[in-house]
């Protein structure tokens, strides 16, 4: 059998004697003598003259000549989308689209003022149970909105039903919540933990007080109440703070992260990270970072952050079978009327509904479009394809610009050099 160098080999660093090589598909990292690197990049090459050849094959640096690496990734992706064998199911449930804040970049433009009723809630439970197979070992539920805590009683009642059903079927249940945090009182925290089983929540902060109030149309009272709620919430949950970064607020985010860590009641339960604001509403007047700009800032922020935590590592992007779990055919986003979507960014848009919990999937064109998830032509040759898979399909379809990639070569190399201790 003839072999060639993998298309997904990326040179991280080199000196006079050695090459540091990384494979974006396998995730393997190797230090090779330059003569070995040059040998595997010659066509054809003689495997007998290459040390550790079998190791290079097993780590993915060298592949059979007839192997189409791109098609292998596509097949893995399709298996992940359609496969019944997946042991994990994931659902996002929005019991209401009402919100007590109005973020200027929000993708939700729904006129729906409903709060889910229990008849719909029970139908949701039946629908979720209908998707379970003998292979299902774990179900994740993410409570979403609007602001989900506006429908607190619905969450409490549905959680009991879901917990009981999963316990009876010996299925692990992992509920979480995405909330703006302004309504997260200590009494609610106790109930969410003890009765609903929630162990993790995500809260978004857009800057210090003035910036936060402008971005979310909030009051100062809401901002300071949010901070107090976060401090208390760390007693009960792992609290993940998403710090939304724009060109205007980036330099406030480090201050916020430091302040939260200093004042929270359980520092081990507080996680902070910066995230790119995507302008789905097209109302940000070019205040959003481009991907290159954002990732440069993310490295800067993360390198400062890791000095305060024990592991001291940047997160190296991993190989993904799919861009996100929403693409798996059994996973869904469920709205307050029981309507089904494939992504939370589409919630509230009637023309994006793919079914409902009463009648099941409609198998309409939009549903199949998601599952097929075609890629841009440039993706076929991109060395980052195993890490990115073409980026977010919603961004590809909905945003005015064509930037949908989720990482850059410069960012990946920076993460790997940090791991290797190379400046």
pLDDT digits 0-9 by tens, 293-348? 999 999 989 888 765 544 556 788 888 888 888 888 899 999 999 999 999 989 98
**Alpha-carbon torsion, ordered 190, 194, 197, 198, to 10 deg:** 10
Lowest mean pLDDT among 71-75, 284-288, 363-367: 284-288
Report the helix count and the strand count for the chain, using DSSP H and E: 14, 15
Confidence category of residue 48, pLDDT binned at 50, 70, 90: low
Question: Does residue 103 register a pLDDT over 90?
Answer: no
Predicted local confidence at residue 308, as pLDDT = 54
Question: Does residue 46 register a pLDDT over 70?
Answer: no
Predicted local confidence at residue 310, as pLDDT = 42
d(CA 225, CA 241): 15
Cβ-proximal residues to 79 (8 Å cutoff; 6+ apart), any chain: 321
Predicted local confidence at residue 36, as pLDDT = 86
pTM: 0.91
Cβ-proximal residues to 389 (8 Å cutoff; 6+ apart), any chain: 73, 77, 320, 322, 323, 375, 379
Predicted local confidence at residue 284, as pLDDT = 64
Per cent of the chain over pLDDT 70 is 91
Is 139 in a helix, a strand, or coil?
Answer: strand
d(CA 18, CA 33): 5
Lowest mean pLDDT among 13-27, 95-109, 223-237: 95-109
pLDDT tens profile 216-260: 999 999 999 999 999 999 999 999 999 999 999 999 999 999 999
Token pair listed for 120: 């719909």
Predicted local confidence at residue 402, as pLDDT = 56
| 327 closest CA partner among 71, 26, 79, 128 | 79
Its sign, for the CA torsion 53, 54, 57, 58, is negative
Question: Does residue 180 register a pLDDT over 90?
Answer: yes
């Amino acid at each position: 059998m003839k072999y060639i160098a993998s298309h997904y080999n990326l040179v991280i660093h080199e000196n006079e004697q050695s090459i540091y090589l990384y494979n974006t598909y396998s995730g393997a990292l190797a230090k090779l003598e330059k003569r070995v690197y040059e040998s595997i990049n010659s066509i054809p090459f003689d495997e007998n003259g290459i040390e550790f050849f079998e190791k290079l094959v097993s780590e993915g640096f060298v592949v059979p000549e007839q192997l189409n690496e791109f098609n292998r990734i596509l097949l893995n992706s399709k298996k992940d989308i359609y496969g019944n064998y997946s042991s994990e199911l994931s659902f996002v449930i929005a019991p209401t689209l009402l919100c007590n804040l109005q973020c200027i970049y929000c993708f939700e433009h729904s006129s729906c003022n409903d709060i889910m009723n229990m008849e719909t809630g029970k139908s949701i439970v039946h629908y979720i149970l209908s998707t379970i197979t003998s292979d299902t070992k774990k179900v994740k539920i993410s409570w979403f909105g609007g602001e989900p805590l506006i429908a607190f009683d619905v969450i409490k009642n549905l959680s009991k039903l879901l917990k009981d059903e999963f316990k009876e079927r010996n299925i692990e249940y992992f509920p979480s919540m995405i909330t703006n945090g302004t309504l997260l009182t200590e009494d609610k925290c106790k109930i969410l933990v003890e009765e609903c089983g929630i162990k993790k929540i995500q809260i978004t902060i857009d800057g210090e007080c003035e910036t936060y109030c402008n971005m979310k149309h909030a009051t100062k009272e809401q901002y300071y109440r949010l901070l107090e709620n976060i401090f208390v919430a760390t007693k009960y949950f792992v609290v993940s703070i998403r710090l939304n970064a724009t060109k205007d607020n980036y330099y406030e985010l480090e201050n916020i992260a430091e302040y939260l860590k200093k004042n929270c009641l359980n520092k081990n339960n507080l996680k902070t990270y910066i995230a790119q604001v995507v302008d789905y509403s097209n109302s940000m007047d070019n205040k959003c970072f481009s991907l290159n700009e954002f990732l440069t800032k993310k490295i800067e922020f993360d390198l400062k952050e890791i000095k305060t935590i024990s592991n001291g590592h940047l997160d190296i992007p991993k190989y993904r079978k799919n861009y996100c779990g929403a693409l798996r055919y059994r996973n869904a986003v469920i709205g307050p009327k029981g309507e089904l979507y494939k992504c939370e960014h589409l919630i509230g848009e009637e023309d994006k509904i793919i079914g409902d919990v009463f009648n099941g999937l409609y198998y309409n064109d939009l549903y199949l479009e998601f599952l097929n998830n075609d890629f841009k032509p440039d993706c076929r040759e991109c060395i980052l394809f195993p890490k990115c898979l073409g980026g977010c399909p919603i961004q590809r379809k909905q945003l005015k610009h064509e930037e949908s990639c989720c990482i850059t070569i410069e960012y990946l190399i920076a993460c790997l050099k940090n791991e290797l201790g190379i400046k």
